């Protein structure tokens, strides 16, 4: 099975090269040329998470041997996760929570970023490379730490993370500033996530940056890398398996997923799951106050002409959702000219408009809702009062969307993706639970633990003691220069 680019279908490369490269040279994203044969839900009911991962990834990564995939999977999904289920489900009155935050950094990004470094190393060996793979990563908060943790001291790799100076939570910032490993670097940018993401995308084709690279290859750990996306397909199946095994649905029934969305990676993985046979009725795209995607799904016009608003769900504070490009490619019937034009419109004018037939196709599966800050807080409060379940603000945005969706009369089983531990956003969660308080930072984290009786995850509890290793801040105009310097530092003969 080959991969091509959303902006150049003349390109055909095997999966491992797409993983190595991250982003296509002309700026497009790598996508599978066709989808692997369907997986029948009845075949997976006895699979462990690891077996399921091998089954699904083998279809997409056909140039890796099954043995290679098995090794990558068992290196990723082990005791780094605090539960054998890896991604357990929890029953609520109105639906099911899929808990994706049991990995080392307490956000769903761990599911993909514990695996990606192994997929990359394996690709590296296949091609007998001697280059250093330089991973450039833009983060709205959670990807950064998950990538730093996944790549720390992985041979032949170096990782550089850019995060917005203002916008990430206190805990997220501490997690990054204290990252371990000799191959890691972390830089704060005076800008927002979109600025960070743009820097990383531009670096890939910037002549000055490329000139600085000697035996260094640039790749990405953002969900623009297909190797980030594919591991996320697995948990949609695992949630379905859990619902069948606990007799909440019959095998073959359609269900819907509610996905708190920023860069559109997680929800796109759900669409890939549907493409390979998972019975999904709707994928509900849940946004916060930066609801560019809700508006797009409703109107067919994607417009970034709006203020960027920092919210209590910072990992969704994004106006340019990169993975939407992959959906547009599919909805256009794989039309690279159309996709290039839309992306060019976005770059030149800050907006694009999608033809109505394409929107109809997209709306067969995708529906968008958004939650303001008040609704987000009240979801956190309500769920705790009514069911003693504590959720983080991103999950709360999705819970709000679930209720909006159910108001339309939808009656199928619904799964809400719970993407982060509430302790990553302790101060906001505490405020929502017990009213405004002056407690901040570590004091808020400790108080949240006292109020809820929940244990602070180990990776967060240790932060208070760890030394700050990275405190550099740059202006966004200096981004490419900083990347160039880093490439010079990593260059070798």
Ligand X SMILES: *Cc1c(COP(=O)(O)O)cnc(C)c1O
Q: Which ranges in 152-221 belong to alpha helices (H)?
A: 170-177, 193-203, 207-211
Query: How many C-beta atoms surround the C-beta of residue 125 within 10 A?
Result: 12
Least separation in angstroms between residue 316's CB and ligand X is 5
Tell me which of 93, 109, 424, 455 is the catalytic residue: 109
Nearest to 141 by CA among 246, 262, 18: 262
Q: Going by C-beta distance under 8 Å and a sequence separation of 6 or more, which residues neighbour residue 226?
A: 3, 15, 18, 19, 29, 30, 31, 32
Q: Which stretch binds ligand X (CB under 6 A): 21-29, 73-81, 255-263, 446-454?
A: 255-263
- SS3 for 144? helix
Among 30, 81, 264, 308, binds ligand X (CB under 6 A): 264
Distance CA 224, CA 382 (A): 35
Asked if 262 is part of the footprint of ligand X (rule: CB under 6 A), the reply reads: yes
Per the DSSP assignment, residues forming a β-bridge with 416 are 97, 258
Asked if 316 is part of the footprint of ligand X (rule: CB under 6 A), the reply reads: yes
Distance CA 409, CA 417 (A): 21
Among 114, 137, 197, 315, binds ligand X (CB under 6 A): 315
Number of residues lying near ligand X (CB under 6 A): 16
Q: Which stretch binds ligand X (CB under 6 A): 3-11, 59-67, 262-270, 361-369?
A: 262-270
Asked if 231 is part of the footprint of ligand X (rule: CB under 6 A), the reply reads: no
Asked if 223 is part of the footprint of ligand X (rule: CB under 6 A), the reply reads: yes
The binding track of 347-386 with respect to ligand X, each residue x by CB under 6 A or -, is: ----------------------------------------
Among 22, 103, 227, 265, binds ligand X (CB under 6 A): 265
**Which residues from 23-82 bind ligand X, rule CB under 6 A?**
none
Least separation in angstroms between residue 261's CB and ligand X is 4
Distance CA 153, CA 399 (A): 38
Q: Which stretch binds ligand X (CB under 6 A): 241-249, 256-264, 464-472, 482-490?
A: 256-264
Distance CA 427, CA 442 (A): 9
- SS3 for 435? coil
Name the E strands within 312-461. 351-353, 366-370, 414-418
Least separation in angstroms between residue 463's CB and ligand X is 17
Least separation in angstroms between residue 419's CB and ligand X is 3
The binding track of 403-432 with respect to ligand X, each residue x by CB under 6 A or -, is: ----------------xx------------
Asked if 459 is part of the footprint of ligand X (rule: CB under 6 A), the reply reads: no
Task: Answer yes or no: are the C-beta atoms of 317 and 262 closer than 8 Å.
Answer: yes
Residue number with CB closer to ligand X (263 or 290): 263
Nearest to 98 by CA among 252, 269, 327, 221: 269
Question: Which DSSP letter does residue 303 get?
Answer: E
Instruction: Collect contacts of 243-248 with beta carbons under 8 A, ≥24 apart.
Output: 243/89, 243/96, 243/413, 243/415, 244/41, 244/45, 245/45, 246/89, 246/91, 248/91, 248/96, 248/413
Q: Going by C-beta distance under 8 Å and a sequence separation of 6 or more, which residues neighbour residue 392?
A: 101, 313, 418, 419, 420, 421, 422, 424, 425, 429
Asked if 317 is part of the footprint of ligand X (rule: CB under 6 A), the reply reads: no
- SS3 for 281? strand
Among 57, 97, 107, 234, binds ligand X (CB under 6 A): 107
Distance CA 146, CA 148 (A): 6
Least separation in angstroms between residue 322's CB and ligand X is 9
Task: Answer yes or no: are the C-beta atoms of 239 and 89 closer than 8 Å.
Answer: yes
Asked if 394 is part of the footprint of ligand X (rule: CB under 6 A), the reply reads: yes
Q: Is 109 a catalytic residue?
A: yes
Q: What is the DSSP string of 337-371?
A: HHHHHHHHHHHHHSEEE--HHHHHHHHHHEEEEE-
Q: Which stretch binds ligand X (CB under 6 A): 37-45, 90-98, 258-266, 368-376?
A: 258-266
Q: Which stretch binds ligand X (CB under 6 A): 73-81, 254-262, 330-338, 353-361?
A: 254-262
Asked if 291 is part of the footprint of ligand X (rule: CB under 6 A), the reply reads: no
Residue number with CB closer to ligand X (101 or 124): 101
Distance CA 83, CA 136 (A): 30
Residue 115: phi, psi to the nearest 5?
-95, -40
Residue number with CB closer to ligand X (132 or 169): 169
Residue number with CB closer to ligand X (56 or 244): 56
Least separation in angstroms between residue 228's CB and ligand X is 9
Residue number with CB closer to ligand X (16 or 109): 109
Q: Which stretch binds ligand X (CB under 6 A): 147-155, 174-182, 264-272, 338-346?
A: 264-272
Least separation in angstroms between residue 102's CB and ligand X is 13
Task: Answer yes or no: are the C-beta atoms of 369 and 401 closer than 8 Å.
Answer: yes
Among 191, 260, 270, 479, binds ligand X (CB under 6 A): 260
Residue number with CB closer to ligand X (41 or 167): 167
Asked if 114 is part of the footprint of ligand X (rule: CB under 6 A), the reply reads: no
**Which residues from 145-204 bind ligand X, rule CB under 6 A?**
none
Binding site for ligand X (CB under 6 A): 107, 109, 142, 223, 260-266, 315-316, 394, 419-420
Residues marked as catalytic: 109
């Amino acid at each position: 099975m080959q991969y091509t680019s959303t902006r150049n279908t003349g390109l055909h490369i095997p999966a491992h090269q797409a993983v190595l490269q991250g982003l296509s040279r002309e700026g497009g994203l790598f996508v599978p040329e066709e989808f692997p044969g369907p997986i029948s839900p009845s075949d997976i009911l006895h699979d462990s998470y690891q077996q399921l991962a091998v089954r699904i990834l083998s279809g997409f990564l056909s140039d890796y041997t099954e043995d290679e995939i098995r090794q990558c999977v068992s290196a990723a999904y082990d005791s780094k996760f605090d539960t054998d289920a890896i991604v357990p489900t929890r029953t609520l009155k109105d639906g099911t929570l899929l808990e994706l935050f049991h990995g080392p950094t307490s956000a769903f990004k761990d599911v993909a970023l514990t695996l990606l470094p192994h997929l990359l190393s394996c690709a590296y060996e296949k091609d007998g490379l001697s280059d250093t793979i330089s991973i450039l990563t833009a983060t709205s908060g959670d990807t950064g730490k998950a990538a730093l943790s996944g790549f720390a001291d992985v041979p032949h790799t170096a990782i550089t993370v850019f995060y917005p100076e203002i916008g990430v939570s206190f805990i997220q910032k501490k997690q990054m500033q204290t990252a371990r490993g000799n191959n890691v670097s972390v830089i704060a940018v005076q800008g927002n996530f979109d600025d960070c993401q743009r820097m990383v995308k531009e670096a890939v084709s910037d002549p000055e940056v490329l000139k600085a690279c000697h035996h260094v290859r640039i790749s990405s750990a953002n969900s623009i890398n297909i190797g980030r996306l594919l591991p996320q397909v697995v948990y949609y199946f695992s949630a379905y398996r859990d619902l069948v095994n606990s007799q909440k649905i019959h095998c073959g029934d359609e269900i819907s997923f509610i996905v708190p969305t920023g860069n559109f990676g997680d929800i796109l993985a759900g669409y890939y799951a549907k493409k390979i046979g998972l019975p999904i009725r709707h994928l509900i795209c849940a946004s916060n106050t930066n609801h560019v995607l809700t508006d797009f799904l409703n109107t067919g016009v994607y417009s970034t002409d709006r203020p960027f608003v920092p919210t209590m769900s910072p990992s969704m504070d994004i106006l340019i959702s990169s993975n939407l490009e992959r959906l547009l490619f599919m909805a256009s019937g794989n039309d690279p000219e159309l996709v290039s034009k839309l992306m060019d419109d976005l770059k030149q004018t800050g907006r694009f408009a999608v033809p109505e037939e394409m929107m109809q196709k997209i709306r067969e599966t995708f529906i968008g809702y958004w939650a303001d800050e008040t609704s987000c807080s009240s979801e956190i409060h309500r769920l705790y009062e009514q069911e003693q379940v504590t959720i983080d603000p991103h999950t709360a945005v999705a819970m709000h969307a679930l209720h909006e969706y159910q108001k339309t009369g939808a009656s199928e089983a619904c799964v809400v993706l719970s993407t982060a531990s509430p302790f990553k956003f302790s101060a906001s969660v505490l405020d929502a639970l017990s009213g405004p308080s002056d407690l901040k930072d570590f004091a808020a984290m400790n108080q949240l633990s006292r109020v809820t009786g929940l244990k602070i995850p180990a990776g967060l509890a240790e932060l208070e003691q760890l030394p700050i290793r990275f405190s550099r801040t740059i202006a966004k105009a200096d981004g490419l220069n900083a990347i160039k310097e880093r490439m010079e530092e990593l260059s070798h003969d």
